Structure 1
Amino acid sequence: MKKIFYCLIGSAFAFTACEKVDIAKDSPKCIKQKAVDLKEAPCESDVNIKEYFFQGKLVYVLNPGDCIADGNAEVIDGNCNSLGYLGGFGGNTKINDEDFSKAEYKRTIWEK
């Protein structure tokens, strides 16, 4: 009876295990979870997470893809605190009252 129970429990873990994504190894843990979330985005193209140096720290732009009209990209820090959104209906380009064009692109850490 115990063997059957353990087999059932093992099977449950196999089917509910965390989904893996191919992301840069040194990425913050919460950013990895954001990649898992973005993997489920309805868009198939231009879905990615890019790393920038902005306002004295590393920030991440979560781009949900280009299939959504007037979509926006969230900008977060390494602890997944939201700093603001870029794009959208109004075409926002500022984060914390500073134009994001001043950000220095570092790398793309994940893409769908």
Structure 2
Amino acid sequence: MKRLMLIPFFAIIALTSCEKANIAPGVPACAVKQIKEFKKESSCDDGAVAEYKFQNKTVYVLSDGNCIADGGSQVIDSDCNYLGYLGGLVGSREINGVDFASNATFI
């Protein structure tokens, strides 16, 4: 009887524990690692990662989502260098002294 009870338990574990991150091919390994870590630690269901061209670099914006009041977005480059933070309590719009929204192109 105990074995029969374990079957549904392991089935539930197997079906819910492997959430696959949909990461486009060609994303550098360090960015893939950072994105997976972000998705694992994000407290919001609608947290997202977007890819942009900004200051002649490919950058990734890791957005917390809408479940956090005054949440923001971390910006990293393809070498996983931290470039800055957008939004948040102070409403920051600049990365490296440049308005991100006006100068970034969504890829």
Q: TM-score scaled by structure 1? A: 0.72
Matches within 5 A, 1:97-112: 97-101=97-101, 102-106=103-107
Structure 2 residue 33 is the aligned partner of structure 1 residue 44: no
Structure 2 residue 25 is the aligned partner of structure 1 residue 34: no
Q: CA deviation at 1:49?
A: 1.1
Matches within 5 A, 1:1-112: 20-40=20-40, 41-45=42-46, 47-101=47-101, 102-106=103-107
Structure 1, unaligned runs of 5 or more: 1-18, 107-112
Q: Secondary structure at the match of 1:76?
A: strand
Q: Percent identity?
A: 46
Q: Distance in 1 between matches of 2:64 and 2:33?
A: 14
Structure 2, unaligned runs of 5 or more: 1-18
Q: Amino acid of the residue matched to residue 83 of structure 1?
A: L
- Bigger shift: 29-38 or 72-81? 29-38
Superposition misfits of 4+ residues, deviation over 2 angstroms:
19-22
Q: CA deviation at 1:94?
A: 0.3
Q: Distance in 2 between matches of 1:80 and 1:66?
A: 24
Q: CA deviation at 1:77?
A: 0.5
- Paired residue for 2:16? none
Aligned-pair RMSD on alpha carbons? Answer: 1.7
Structure number with the higher strand fraction is 1
Q: CA deviation at 1:90?
A: 1.0
The count of aligned residue pairs is 88
Check whether the contact 1:20–1:36 (CA below 8 A) recurs between aligned residues.
Answer: no
Higher relative contact order (CA 8 A, sep 6+): 1
Query: Any idea what the Cα deviations from partners look like across 1:80-100, whole Å, max 9, x if unmatched?
Result: 100000000111000000000
